[in-house]
Structure 1
Amino acid sequence: MRQIFAKTFGGLTPSYYMRQLIFGSLFAILILSVAANSPSGLMGKPGLIVMAIVCTLLYPYSRFVYESVVGYVMGGNVFFVNALLMLMVKVFTMAMCWSFAIFVAPVGLAYLYWHHSRQAS
């Protein structure tokens, strides 16, 4: 069981995981602060708190899947676009990866397990 966790959840480099975890935490903080300022407050939404934590912890794996797919599709191409437009697209894709992390991250975890199992043999 320990090897499964090491091959999946430990499959990303610690620096990459921490960087993506910080960005994911920003989304959780934003959503929880908006919920805390609602009339029912944050205590009326325990599911939201749990979902925000789960999405934040799974966000690095979701982002890994997104970046892998985009890297495969785009190849080594470089595009020159307006920086503001690119920043807006980046924030949008980060929000989508965070929102759907619970669905997308298992794909990344399965790939990491497969990749590290193949590498070990």
Structure 2
Amino acid sequence: MRAMPTKTTTNPLVPFGQMPFGQIMDPMAMSRLAFDWWKLCFDSTQVIALRSMRMMQGGALAQHEAVRMVSEKWETATLVVMNASSGKGGTTPEALMRGAMQRYQTKVSSNRRRLTR
């Protein structure tokens, strides 16, 4: 197994001030990442509310929505972990985070569109 480099660089913009491999994250990239995270959280809140309303109605449609919700969560989480562990998700913390968020944002956006029709 290959030993990982231990060099780190202090960066006041990163929690705990450490980035692996001596990388310093660009402040604009960090801002874009933070905005994308905020958008994902906002959209997720909408989907939670819409799904809750659908499930409170009961019936076959509510049951189908519950099954769909759980299966989507497992599928997406599994794909994110597999991509991150295989290196397909990127080699930097930023790339890993962006890849995971894009996968979740795609699912959340499609659910929001579907539930608001």
Shorter chain as denominator, the TM-score bin is 0.3 to 0.5
More helix by share: 1
Q: What TM-score do you get using the length of structure 1 for normalisation?
A: 0.32
Work out which of the two has the higher radius of gyration on C-alpha atoms and give 1 or 2: 2
More strand by share: 2
TM-score relative to the length of structure 2: 0.32
